[in-house]
Amino acid sequence: MTADTITAADIRINARWLIPIEPHGVVLEHQAVIIQGAKIAAVLPATQADREFRTRETINLPHHVVMPGLINMHGHAGMSLFRGMADDLPLMTWLNDHIWPAEGRFVSEQFIADGTQLAMAEMLRTGTTTFSDMYFFPEIVAQMAHDTGMRAQVCFPLLDFPTVWGAGPDEYIRKGEALINSWKDDSYIMPAIGPHAPYTVSDGPLTEAVALSERTGARIQIHLHETEFEVADAVEKQDKRPIERLAGLGVLGPRTQCVHMTQVSDSDIAWLVNTGAHVIHCPESNLKLASGLCPVHRLMESGVNLAIGTDGAASNNDLDLFGETRTAAMVAKVVANDAAVLSAHQALQMATLNGAKALGREHELGSLVAGKLADLIAIDLSDPFIQPVYDPASHLVYSNHGRAVTHSWINGVPQVQDGKLTRIDVPDLMIRVEDWAGKIREKQAD
């Protein structure tokens, strides 16, 4: 490009600070992000952008950090309608006595549609642009996300027993393969396979899941080593740890995302390293359910890719990934007994580029680099609770909360403008949410 060449583009975003994630550990000042269509055309100093680009729209953000959109790698979106319904209980009591019975009574296509839209509204408002979901009626979740223009990995459920979505493993696999074929070429929707956990899925269905993944390239997400009881029970009944069983069945590999991993031995780490499987860290859910603590530093030092997720709003109880990232950084230091562990920049990378790697889309998502998809957010650092600003990266992890997000774009399309959602009718959504809440309260009172 010569000095007198002017390039036309769609949007210019002028930022006080910019954290591109790539290169790692960098905070840039007075930068411009140029968007052309669905992609980032350039990231460059504002003075250089003045000389080289003319855009249809210019957005000035003089007190903001601009960074890649957050990637929430694990959740159950529809469960937002169960937020706060069964708190202060251990995992198996929470599941067996409260969540599974409630799902049997209430979960339907409309429940999933409304719960997913509620989850998307919260995630978009707090900086998430891509989320991973593992829940019932995945075809509804996929359509809702696509219609909203939000990126989603949608994992169809796979269990040994009947649910509201199917009679058993054969039907889940059949319907799941149809889901994969329906969405496999979509930029927004990434269909995936979601075996619930080793203790709810037997060897046969897990083997079928592996075969389906190999045929289609779909990723596999599974709850794994979530509690001490899960691991001890497997050792007692099968004489092997769950991760060893999965490795023997071929479940572990570069397309596999292992959620939770609070119970980790040296041999477990070796399995992860040797297979290239990813770990999805959900610290707040693990803390709230007293499930255990993921040894983040040990995993990172071993070369395991760690991304981050909120889990569902019924066990967190929010979907604010900035809050989750803060908790991850704090807990990692305590677990390692080292305050230098999991720096702010490393935590932000877990919430962005590492999630993109787990999805196999790091060439398109997770950092602000020319040629990548234009998924980015802006966070206002002008409020008193974030002042003064010495290090924006530190503020985003340790001082910020997601409500400071003011702007969001996915594929170059605005999803949040000046703190307001552009693609979700919030008043209408709240009417439907309150209707569900009334039904659930009525049943709880019976």
Same domain assignment for residues 155 and 236: yes
Average pLDDT over residues 3-12: 87
What are the C-alpha distances in Å from 122 to residues 74, 75, 321, 402?
Answer: 15, 13, 10, 9
Same domain assignment for residues 218 and 332: yes
- Quick one: pLDDT at residue 92? 83
Q: Helix H segments across 69-195?
A: 91-93, 100-106, 109-125, 138-148, 169-183
Does 320 fall in a domain? yes
- Looking up residue 397, the CATH number of its domain turns out to be 2.30.40.10
Q: What is the pLDDT of residues 191-234, one digit of tens each?
A: 999 999 999 999 999 999 999 999 999 999 999 999 999 999 99
Same domain assignment for residues 345 and 397: no
Does 33 fall in a domain? yes
- Quick one: pLDDT at residue 1? 47
Does 439 fall in a domain? no
What is the percentage of the chain residues whose pLDDT exceeds 90? 90
Does 75 fall in a domain? yes
Average pLDDT over residues 346-367: 98
Does 20 fall in a domain? yes
- Quick one: pLDDT at residue 4? 63
- Quick one: pLDDT at residue 50? 96
Q: What is the pLDDT of residues 18-71, one digit of tens each?
A: 999 999 999 999 999 999 999 999 999 999 999 999 999 999 999 999 999 999
- Looking up residue 262, the CATH number of its domain turns out to be 3.20.20.140
- Quick one: pLDDT at residue 91? 80
Q: What is the pLDDT of residues 242-291, one digit of tens each?
A: 999 999 999 999 999 999 999 999 999 999 999 999 999 999 999 999 99
- Of the ranges 92-106, 335-349, 357-371, which one carries the lowest mean pLDDT score? 92-106
Same domain assignment for residues 351 and 262: yes
What are the C-alpha distances in Å from 169 to residues 176, 179, 198?
Answer: 10, 15, 14
- Quick one: pLDDT at residue 446? 65
Q: What is the pLDDT of residues 108-156, one digit of tens each?
A: 999 999 999 999 999 999 999 999 999 999 999 999 999 999 999 999 9
Q: Does residue 3 surpass a pLDDT of 70? A: no
What is the percentage of the chain residues whose pLDDT exceeds 70? 99
Does 325 fall in a domain? yes
Query: Where among 298, 325, 359 does a domain terminate?
Result: 359
Report the alpha-carbon distance of residue 64 to residue 429 in Å, rounded.
29
Does 220 fall in a domain? yes
Average pLDDT over residues 412-439: 96
Same domain assignment for residues 185 and 265: yes
H/E stretch holding 422 reads none
Same domain assignment for residues 105 and 250: yes
Non-local (6+) Cβ contacts of 351 within 8 A are 70, 71, 307, 308, 321, 322, 324, 325
Same domain assignment for residues 274 and 335: yes
Same domain assignment for residues 14 and 81: no
Same domain assignment for residues 259 and 349: yes
Q: What is the number of domains present in the chain?
A: 2
Cβ distance 131 to 150 under 8 Å?
yes
pTM for this prediction = 0.97
Parent domain of 39 = 7-68+372-411
Same domain assignment for residues 195 and 61: no
- Quick one: pLDDT at residue 442? 85
Average pLDDT, the chain: 96
Cβ distance 122 to 319 under 8 Å?
yes
Same domain assignment for residues 137 and 14: no
- Quick one: pLDDT at residue 62? 96
Burial class (CB in 10 A: 0-12, 13-18, 19+), 287: middle
Each residue of 247-264: b (16+ CB within 10 Å) or e?
beebbbbebbbbbbbbbb
Same domain assignment for residues 187 and 244: yes
Query: Where among 297, 330, 359 does a domain terminate?
Result: 359
Does 417 fall in a domain? no
